[in-house]
Amino acid sequence: MQRRAVFNNKFLPYLFVLPQLVITLVFFIWPAYKALNMSFFMEDAFGLSREFIGLQNFATLFADDYYLHSLRTTLVFSLLTMLMSMGVSLLMAVMADSVIKGSTIYKTFIIWPYAVAPPLAGILWLFMFHPGCGVIAYALQGMGYEWNHLLNGNQAMALVVIAAAWKQISYNFLFFLAGLQAIPHSLVEAAAIDGAGPSRRFWTIIFPLLSPTTFFLMVVNVIYAFFDTFGIIHAVTQGGPAKATETLIYKVFNDGFIGLDFGGSAAQSVILMIIVCTLTVLQFRYVERRVNY
C-alpha cells in the first residue's frame, strides 16, 4: 500500500472504481442495511404496515425452540462435514505425496467434485441412497440395515453430510497436498535416520508443520458448511424429516420466502452476517495462511 502515486488524474480513478462501487452499494450495502433495519420492525405479509419493536425479533428467535434446534443442527452438520472431508482428504494427500508415479492421474480424478454444483452433488448421492432404487440403500438393506432417510432424521443428516463432504474433498486435498509438498524433505529424512517410523514421523513432524494449512482449511470448511450447502439440503431433504436437517441458511430461505416472515428472516440474516464477519476476520487475522506455500 505504501507506493507513491503513479498517475495524477482527478477524474479517472473514480471512473474506474465506479462500477464496482455502484454494484456494491446497490446489491450489498443497501440490502444489508435493509436487513438490519427490517430486523427491528414487525411487518405484515403484505408490507402494508410496520411497527418498530426493537430487539423483539431477536428475542423471539432465541426463545424459539425451532431456531435453537436449527443452530444446533448447523453446528453438528458443519462439524461432521469438516471432520469427514478433511480426514479423507488428508489421508489421500499424504498418500499422494508419497507416491511419484501416477500422482497426476489421481489428482485429475480427485478434483472432479469441485466442479459439481451442490444440488447436483446432493442428487447424485440421493440417487445412491434412495430407499426405492439406490445401490447403497439396497446393499444396506441386504445387510439387514433398514435405510430410509425420508423417515429417519439421523440417516438424513448422514446423507447430507456425505454429499457435502464429498464435494469439498477436492479443495481440501489440493491445499493439503500443497502444504505437504512445502515441508522440507530433509527434516523427515533426518527423523527417519534417527529411527522414527512412518506414523511417528507423521504425528511429530509432518502434522505439526501442516497446522497452518489445517487451521486455514477448518475455517474455510466451516464457512462452506454454513453457507454453501443450501443446494444440497434443498435438493436432498428440504430440511426434513421433521426439521432434522434444517440448517440456518435453509431456515432463512424457508421463513422468508415460504413463511413470509420478513422481520424474523431479516433478524436471522443479521445473525448470519455476524457469523460470517467473525469467520472472515478469523480467517484474515489469526490464521497464518501463507505459511508453507
Subset of residues 23 to 82 that bind another protein, contact rule: CB under 8 A? 23-32, 34-35, 38
Residue 173 identity: F
Q: Candidates 168, 237, 265, 292: give the one binding another protein (CB under 8 A).
A: 265
Name residues contacting another protein, limited to 95-134 (CB under 8 A): 95-96, 98-99, 102, 106-121, 123-125, 127-128, 130, 132-134
Nearer to another protein by Cβ, of 55 and 190: the residue is 190
- Written as nine digits, the cell of 266 is 431479516
Q: Which stretch binds another protein (CB under 8 A): 53-61, 70-78, 151-159, 225-233?
A: 225-233
How near is the Cβ of 105 to another protein at its closest, in Å? 9
Residue closer to another protein (CB basis): 3 or 52 = 3
* 41 backbone φψ class: left, alpha, beta (φ>0; ψ -120 to 50): beta
* Binding footprint of another protein, residue count (CB under 8 A): 101
User: Given candidates 16, 62, 203, 207, which one binds another protein under the rule CB under 8 A?
Assistant: 16
How far CA 52 is from CA of 42, 184, 199, 263, 269, in Å, comes to: 6, 61, 61, 10, 18
Other CB atoms within a 10 A radius of the CB of residue 234 amount to: 17
Nearer to another protein, 98 or 154 (CB): 98
Q: Is 258 in the site for another protein (CB under 8 A)?
A: no
Give whichever of 49 and 108 is closer to another protein, judged by the CB atom: 108
Nearest-angstrom CA–CA distance, 214 and 288 = 10
Q: Cα 203–208–212 angle (5° rounding)?
A: 145
Residues numbered 174-203 forming contacts with another protein, rule: CB under 8 A: 174-175, 178, 189, 192-193, 198
CB 131 within 8 A of CB 137: yes
- With cell 444440497, the residue in question is 232
Instruction: Compute CA distances 182 → 18, 51, 193, 214, whole Å.
Output: 40, 58, 20, 14
What's the closest the beta carbon of residue 108 comes to another protein, in angstroms? 6
User: Distances from the Cα of 136 to the Cαs of 50, 84, 86, 126, in angstroms?
Assistant: 51, 19, 23, 10
**Binding residue for another protein, selected from 159, 220, 222, 244, defined by CB under 8 A:** 220
Q: Which of residues 140-169 bind another protein (CB under 8 A)?
A: 166, 169
Q: Closest distance between another protein and the C-beta of residue 200, in Å?
A: 12
Region of 68-76, 145-153, 202-210, 277-285 interacting with another protein (CB under 8 A): 277-285
CB of 53 to another protein, least distance (A): 17
DSSP character at residue 204: I
- Residue corresponding to grid cell 507423521: 202
Could you tell me which of 165, 154, 159, 166 has the C-alpha nearest to residue 235? 159
Largest separation between any pair of C-alpha atoms in the chain: 77
Shortest spacing between CB 149 and another protein, in angstroms: 15
Closer Cβ to another protein, 86 or 249, answer by number: 249
